[in-house]
Amino acid sequence: MYVCGPTTYNYFHAGNARMFVVFDMIRRYFIYKGFDVRYVQNFTDIDDKIIQRGNVEGMDPLALGQKYIDEYFKDAKELNLLPATVHPKATEHIPEMIEIIQGLIDSGLGYEVEGDVYFAVDHFPDYGKLSGRTLDDMKAGARVEVDERKRHPMDFALWKKAKPGEPAWESPWGEGRPGWHIECTAMSLKYLGAGFDIHGGGEDLSFPHHENEIAQTEGYLKGKTFARHWMHNAFLTINQEKMSKSLGNFFTIRELLVNSPGEVIRFYLLGTHYRSPLDFNDQNLIMAQKGLERLQTSVRLAQEALAREGAVKNDQGSLELSRASKEAREAFEKAMDDDFNSALAYAALFELAKTMNGLVQANPVPSEGLAEAHNTLVKLGDVLGFDLLHPAKIDVENNEILNEVMEVVLQIRSKSRQKKDWEMADFIRDGLKEKGIVIEDTPQGARWQIKR
């Protein structure tokens, strides 16, 4: 699998995160099914946007790119993204790109103009086969920079002549840097070779990025298949409008992590089929947190029940739980085998959790069946990238919801004290203390803190 990674000029936003999470889930499911998966995700660490951002921040573009590569891994860890088998950087593969570009020139598919090199789209008969567009349609609706030096308006850059002050590399056409599309061609061929199984990305990459990748790669390979399957996830939107940095209507994952654990964000992003649009909504994010907590609670209750005295190995409850576990696995795999329908796979998890919840209070506890159901729920959750055994700890100081709830609790306790209802006031204080929250009464009023 080759999945297009971020252009490293900022923290990645929730729209980028949907793509990363979706393909991480797909990778995990292949592993669950017994496949050996080689997963390549690149970093575009040289690009116009990186250069522009470097100028704004007064920072060397290559150093800026490395800065946001480092930040990517921090946020990726919070979303429980498995590291790729290989994380290649564009700037480390310039020689491979130059070799491919020269090959395209030699075959008549590329041409050089004053230090720039372009791909001749009308020399590649299959151009448009991924997006289903024709060159005439593209020309009519083109929103590309007019450049009279190009032979066709849709010809795209393979190599860009260096401008003063920009990072540049030596090439047969003078100093310059690669175009965006050629970067992915070079890195995917180097680490996966021609004819690899899956090339993935967001639907906005289908055209022109992936279309151009196919043209230059299969042109270079003289007709050999580049990637056997192309997969694209739908947009994440804000008020029904695509989330993007260019539009300015985006939330970075770093911002969202202030109030929501990464596992909740992941749960939200996989709650809709990956090819269906998903509109960002705070209320839906709260619902996602509640849904994930339901599964985590089922796991915790099962563990507590199994630790109690009086558990038995075989009884009707165990048979029911064993049957529910089998049905959950079958329903889960049926959903995921049908184009990775994670939303439907969720239903299998919730159905199993419901059965478990109905039997954790049984006396005696049906230990054999409950242990199987517990392990099944944990395993299937892990396939989707959720650690149901270890819920994320809330960052209390930065969690607005918890702060608001505690403000209400302290108000209730204050009114109880005013009414001299000491029993209720102490009940609230002692109950919170058991949960690790300490209330201190001061001359300025009550305050609370987590007991470290």
Residue ranges of the annotated binding site for Zn(2+) are: 4, 184, 209, 213
Q: Check: CB of residue 43 under 8 Å from CB of residue 5.
A: yes
- Residue 421 has, within 13 A of its CA and on its CB side, a CA count of 11
How far, in Å, CA of 118 to CA of 350, rounded?
A: 53
Written as six digits, the tokens of 423 are: 């029993």
Local structure of 120: helix, strand or coil: coil
Q: What is the Cα–Cα distance from 222 to 320, expressed in whole angstroms?
A: 59
Burial 94-117 (b: 16+ CB within 10 A, else e): bebbbebbbbbbeeebbbbeeebb
Residue among 430, 426, 396, 432 at smallest CA distance from 413: 426
DSSP 3-state of 209: helix
- Tokens describing residue 193: 């070779």
Q: Per the annotation, where are the binding residues for ATP? A: 245
Cβ contact 92:35 at 8 Å:
no
- Which pair of tokens denotes residue 226? 């580049």
Among the listed residues 315, 313, 298, the one whose alpha carbon sits nearest the alpha carbon of residue 375:
298
Report the binding-site residues: 4, 184, 209, 213, 245
Q: Are 84 and 39 in contact, with CB atoms under 8 Å apart? A: yes
How far is Cα 152 from Cα 107, in angstroms, rounded to an integer?
18
Per the structure block, which two tokens stand in for 1? 């699998």
Contacts of residue 254, Cβ cutoff 8 Å, sequence gap at least 6: 11, 71, 75
Query: How many of the other CB atoms lie within 10 Å of CB of 270?
Result: 24
Closest CA to 96 of 187, 169, 218: 187
Q: Are strands 236-238 and 278-279 parallel, antiparallel or unpaired?
A: parallel
